[in-house]
A and B are shown apart, each in its own frame.
Chain A
Amino acid sequence: MPVRVVETSSPSQVSGTTPGNNTPPPCTLLSVGQGFSGTQNVSSLQKDEAWRVNVQIQGIDHDHGYLCGTMEALNVPMADTPVVTFWEGEIVDTKNYTFFTGKWGATTEDDIKHWTKFQSFSPLLSKVEVDGGKTLDLSNYPFIFMRWKEQYFVNVGTDCGLTIAGFYYVCFSCSDGSINGFYYDPNSSPFQKLELKSTNDGRSGFSFSTYELQ
């Protein structure tokens, strides 16, 4: 989700590790077509404010630790319409990506500071502090950690007065499909919290759609 402009990288991709089956398992609640809604707290010293947010998962590639989708911010004060952005995500799978971001202006200290805000992260902390968590076995862990980076505005121009310079630290719960996140941008309010829940289009249960690329 874009934030107000108040006003950059080396890859965090893992090298030199042997690919194993320690990666987070696929989760149906985090599959293509799934929707989430909730809020992002954009409060500043001046005032409390939260924007309603909808997220949709559009692509996922477990082999490459990649996922992507759109994020729609609904009640953005300075925008006439909801603002939609396209984001790409890195799944912390210890194979393609570790807990260390290594880019987008985030230091390992920033990483630890943000990851530790998720309660589900605490059992992993000691190993992450060593090497970003390269040796962790996440194959049976009921939370999936990710970084989401918005790439472009879908329905507004770059001159809309909003910025997508930062990125999100994200924790997804495989149990109930809830998503918690923290927006990180050195030039924006710190620890803007993103809270999302799996949506069901007014249904009495969960529905799953599918597409496959050829």
Chain B
Amino acid sequence: MPTSAPPPSNYPTRSEDLIGRLNSVHIPCEAKLKALRELKNQIIGNRTKKIAFLKLGAVPSLVSILSSAVAENGGNLEFNEPVIIQSAAAIGSFACGLDAGVNAVLDAGAFPLLFGLVSHPNEKIVDACARSLKLIYQSKLAPKYNFLLEKNMDFLLSLLNSKNENVTGLGASIITHSCHTSLEQETLSEAGVIKKLISLLGGSLIQRDASLESLGAIIKENPVVVSKFMGPVNGRALNVVTELTKDRYPQTRLLACMCLILIRNASTCYLQDAGIKTKLILILLELIDDPGQVGDEAPFALSSLIAEKEDLQKIAFDSNIVDKLCNHLEKGSLQAKSLQGIFLALADLCSKLECCRDRFLSLKAFNFLTDVLTHDSPEVRTAACICLKNISRSVKNLSAGHFMNEVVIVPLVQLLHDTCTSVQIAALGAISNIVVDFTEHKSTFIHCGGVKQLVQLLKSMDPTIRFNAMWALKNLIFLVNSMCKEEILLELSPSILISLICDPETSVQEQALALVRNLVDGAIDSVEYVFSEEGLLLNAIGRQLQSASKVEVLIQGMYVLNNVASGNEFHKEAVMNLLFPHAGSDTQTILIKFMQSTDSRLRTASVWALVNLTLTSSPGANSRVMKLQRAGIVSQLKNMANDPCLDVKLRAKTALGQSMMFVDPSMGKFVFTC
């Protein structure tokens, strides 16, 4: 059957024709207006069309038409005003939900034009421009509004005082978009914006929602502003917001809940009543069922409500929330945003409470969790890793070996290659916990290529990656058997370890030293690891102990020495040589400094090393005690026999008691050099 031939390539498409008509100076006014309407109708809610018209330069054309119509100011009103309305609406539509559209609108200079028209005498123009500006302000790309300029604040207040709900909505959107610092929050509060926004809570749906959102921006993490919000000037503001948590519109309920959560999170003085906490949890649970955007965002609100708060997590658990969130997962075909929110909420629930972890694991939701480790969205992968990290804080389940299997480990190790840094860091967090595994299955991680990849990440330029990779390796080496140690050290050479002990970041140094501490623990043969490469590793540890100032680094370094000093005579002597490199000199040894530290953990580690060095059963203990005595250590130990820390006191007494068993041959009798 014959068909029509395709149009020649130089034949304009309908879209090109439409843009042509918009740009033409020869077509009648009515035709141009018609073209504007046609463009607007085509792009509303149609991302593909928006992108196509953006490529054809539609936005500069629209802004040019708007600009010309404004410039004619009072000319052909019958034509100009509808043109302004239609072009403003189309500009707003381009900016709605499309970053490229927002960029095009801003580049074409639409922003000041639209702002100028917000005070136009024609209410329909004001309406259209306010709507467009609101859409632009929904994007992070919109310019930040400077509230600190007086004229800007006056203008904002004029917007909020407008009788037009889209204009007040615009004012609120500006606040939501641009209020971030505590100075901005306090400036807005001082200017009476809170009171105005509270009054708008009694207005239309648009005004209520916009005001709730901007109130959230003003009070977020600012206890000073929260106290003003709760103060007498603002009347029964809290009651108004609380009432709105029962509103018929889900979006309003969600925004009201978020507002209350921000109040509670900013200041522990408010909303402590168990009743309101339970209500918030139940409302948010119900909102998760909403099929739209509200349902996607509700888990995030829930997460911010319960994060780090064990009491709320318990209330949420008692409300059967783990089951309900897992039921959502079972429904399947959830959008990425929804999955991300649910896993983050589950992560917070399982962050502290074993009962939540137990419940989650008993519901078989773990299968969903491992499935989404390979999800397309990096946000979902990150959330899944965070959830897995928190669930694997359960020593009970780690001890049962519940996480160390290929279903979990293989995708996690894959995520160490992820192109997204936040995914890598989240995966490292989960791995750090899982590899603690107390069973004999740590080799599963090694055989899945985990160590190889962790060692690669130790070479990362990103200090957070190095830190977390080192943390994971440290936990992996904890209580590992000798065979696994050998396998790990095939990848982790002494030179890599030395470079990380001397890493520019102290947090990395600390983890590296803690790893060596674990490495030389266990079977006595393990101590030999620090003597590899002609003792370079032990020397690097010695240098860090001499130069580091961060107490956590020193603690780990001293535990390395302690563990080495629990070895044979050769090992003990090596530690003595490291601690007292210049025997006979008057310089105060680092050990005295550590024993006098204000940090009891460092004092403890130091005194333990002395317990090991002075063990009476060791053949060389005698000469070591003499050396310690000459260095003033024994005298310092005597001072520590009444240390305020019981652990230090007991070890000091042990070390002192052991030292007293020996006699200084030069003095004939043991003498304290107090």
A residues with CB within 8 A of B: 25-28, 33, 56, 58-59, 68, 70, 86, 88, 139-140, 142, 151-152, 154, 174-175, 200-214
Please name 12 pairs of A and B residues whose Cβ atoms are closer than 8 Å in the assembled complex, sorted by A: A28-B647, A68-B395, A70-B399, A88-B396, A201-B522, A203-B567, A204-B566, A206-B562, A206-B611, A209-B478, A210-B517, A214-B389
- The 3 lowest CB-CB distance pairs between A and B, nearest first, are A205-B566, A205-B612, A59-B395
A208 and B523 within 8 A (CB): no
**Chain B hits for A58, CB < 8 A:** 395, 398-399, 438
B432 within 8 A of A: yes
B471 and A212 within 8 A (CB): yes
**Chain B hits for A142, CB < 8 A:** 646, 650
B518 within 8 A of A: yes
- Count chain B CB atoms within 10 A of each CB in A151, A202, A204 and give the residue with the most: A204
**Chain A hits for B44, CB < 8 A:** none
B29 within 8 A of A: no
* Contact among B393, B396, B608 with A213 in the assembled complex (CB-CB below 8 Å): B393
Closest chain-B Cβ to A112's Cβ sits at a distance in Å of 26
B478 and A208 within 8 A (CB): no
- A68 touching B399 in the complex, CB below 8 Å, given contacts A25-B646, A174-B647, A208-B562: yes
Closest chain-A Cβ to B574's Cβ sits at a distance in Å of 13
B433 and A154 within 8 A (CB): no
**Chain B hits for A33, CB < 8 A:** 478-479, 521
- Alpha-carbon separation in the docked complex, A95 to B101 (Å): 59
**Chain A hits for B646, CB < 8 A:** 25, 27, 139-140, 142, 174
Which of chain B's residues has its CB closest to A88's CB?
Answer: B396
Which of chain B's residues has its CB closest to A203's CB?
Answer: B566
Which of chain A's residues has its CB closest to B476's CB?
Answer: A211
Q: What would 11 more interface pairs be, CB under 8 Å, given A33-B479, A210-B517? A: A25-B646, A33-B478, A86-B399, A142-B646, A151-B396, A154-B400, A204-B566, A206-B611, A208-B521, A208-B563, A209-B478
**Chain A hits for B429, CB < 8 A:** 214
B524 within 8 A of A: yes
- A201 touching B523 in the complex, CB below 8 Å, given contacts A68-B399, A206-B611, A208-B608: yes
B565 within 8 A of A: yes
**Chain B hits for A201, CB < 8 A:** 522-524
Which of chain A's residues has its CB closest to B518's CB?
Answer: A209
B517 and A208 within 8 A (CB): yes
- Alpha-carbon separation in the docked complex, A204 to B564 (Å): 10
A206 and B612 within 8 A (CB): yes
Closest chain-A Cβ to B518's Cβ sits at a distance in Å of 5
Closest chain-B Cβ to A93's Cβ sits at a distance in Å of 14
B562 and A207 within 8 A (CB): yes
A207 and B566 within 8 A (CB): yes
* Contact among B395, B518, B523, B608 with A206 in the assembled complex (CB-CB below 8 Å): B608
B80 within 8 A of A: no
A70 and B389 within 8 A (CB): no
**Chain A hits for B611, CB < 8 A:** 205-206
**Chain B hits for A211, CB < 8 A:** 436, 474-475, 478, 518
- A70 touching B650 in the complex, CB below 8 Å, given contacts A209-B517, A211-B474, A214-B389: no
**Chain B hits for A205, CB < 8 A:** 562, 565-567, 611-612, 615
B617 and A207 within 8 A (CB): no
Closest chain-A Cβ to B535's Cβ sits at a distance in Å of 20
Q: Is the interface of A mostly helix, strand, loop or mixed?
A: loop
Interface size of B by CB at 8 A reads: 50
* Contact among A139, A207, A212 with B563 in the assembled complex (CB-CB below 8 Å): A207
A86 and B524 within 8 A (CB): no
B524 and A209 within 8 A (CB): no
A204 and B474 within 8 A (CB): no
**Chain A hits for B258, CB < 8 A:** none
* Contact among A25, A200, A213 with B433 in the assembled complex (CB-CB below 8 Å): A213
Q: Give B579-616 interface residues, CB cut-off 8 Å to A.
A: 604, 608, 611-612, 615
- Alpha-carbon separation in the docked complex, A140 to B643 (Å): 11
A203 and B432 within 8 A (CB): no
**Chain B hits for A139, CB < 8 A:** 646
A213 and B479 within 8 A (CB): no
- Alpha-carbon separation in the docked complex, A17 to B572 (Å): 48
B residues with CB within 8 A of A: 389, 392-393, 395-396, 398-400, 429, 432-433, 436, 438-439, 468, 471, 474-475, 478-479, 514, 517-518, 520-524, 556, 559, 562-563, 565-568, 572, 604, 608, 611-612, 615, 617-618, 645-647, 650-651, 654
- Alpha-carbon separation in the docked complex, A5 to B477 (Å): 38
**Chain A hits for B608, CB < 8 A:** 28, 206, 208
B522 and A27 within 8 A (CB): no
**Chain B hits for A27, CB < 8 A:** 646-647
Closest chain-A Cβ to B156's Cβ sits at a distance in Å of 43
- Alpha-carbon separation in the docked complex, A151 to B611 (Å): 36
- A70 touching B432 in the complex, CB below 8 Å, given contacts A204-B612, A204-B618: no
Closest chain-B Cβ to A64's Cβ sits at a distance in Å of 9
- Alpha-carbon separation in the docked complex, A207 to B562 (Å): 7
Closest chain-B Cβ to A151's Cβ sits at a distance in Å of 7
B650 and A204 within 8 A (CB): no
- Alpha-carbon separation in the docked complex, A102 to B328 (Å): 39
**Chain A hits for B396, CB < 8 A:** 68, 86, 88, 151
**Chain A hits for B650, CB < 8 A:** 142, 174-175
B615 and A204 within 8 A (CB): yes
**Chain B hits for A206, CB < 8 A:** 562, 566, 608, 611-612
**Chain B hits for A25, CB < 8 A:** 645-647
Closest chain-A Cβ to B617's Cβ sits at a distance in Å of 7
- A28 touching B604 in the complex, CB below 8 Å, given contacts A68-B396, A206-B611: yes
- Alpha-carbon separation in the docked complex, A203 to B569 (Å): 11
Which of chain B's residues has its CB closest to A155's CB?
Answer: B439
**Chain A hits for B439, CB < 8 A:** 154
Closest chain-A Cβ to B559's Cβ sits at a distance in Å of 6
Closest chain-A Cβ to B193's Cβ sits at a distance in Å of 41
- Alpha-carbon separation in the docked complex, A142 to B654 (Å): 14
Closest chain-B Cβ to A91's Cβ sits at a distance in Å of 15
**Chain A hits for B615, CB < 8 A:** 204-205
Closest chain-B Cβ to A171's Cβ sits at a distance in Å of 16
Closest chain-B Cβ to A167's Cβ sits at a distance in Å of 16
Closest chain-B Cβ to A95's Cβ sits at a distance in Å of 15
- Count chain A CB atoms within 10 A of each CB in B396, B475, B617 and give the residue with the most: B396
- Alpha-carbon separation in the docked complex, A152 to B647 (Å): 32
**Chain A hits for B478, CB < 8 A:** 33, 209-211
Closest chain-A Cβ to B49's Cβ sits at a distance in Å of 47
Which of chain A's residues has its CB closest to B386's CB?
Answer: A214
Which of chain A's residues has its CB closest to B566's CB?
Answer: A205
B647 and A70 within 8 A (CB): no
A213 and B518 within 8 A (CB): no
- Alpha-carbon separation in the docked complex, A58 to B389 (Å): 18
B436 and A209 within 8 A (CB): no
Closest chain-B Cβ to A123's Cβ sits at a distance in Å of 16
A210 and B612 within 8 A (CB): no
Which of chain A's residues has its CB closest to B515's CB?
Answer: A210
- A203 touching B399 in the complex, CB below 8 Å, given contacts A210-B514, A210-B518, A213-B436: no
- Alpha-carbon separation in the docked complex, A209 to B608 (Å): 13
- Alpha-carbon separation in the docked complex, A211 to B514 (Å): 8
A152 and B475 within 8 A (CB): no
**Chain A hits for B438, CB < 8 A:** 56, 58, 70
* Contact among A26, A151, A174, A209 with B479 in the assembled complex (CB-CB below 8 Å): A209
Which of chain B's residues has its CB closest to A200's CB?
Answer: B566
Closest chain-A Cβ to B615's Cβ sits at a distance in Å of 6
* Contact among B389, B521, B556 with A207 in the assembled complex (CB-CB below 8 Å): B521
**Chain A hits for B436, CB < 8 A:** 211, 213
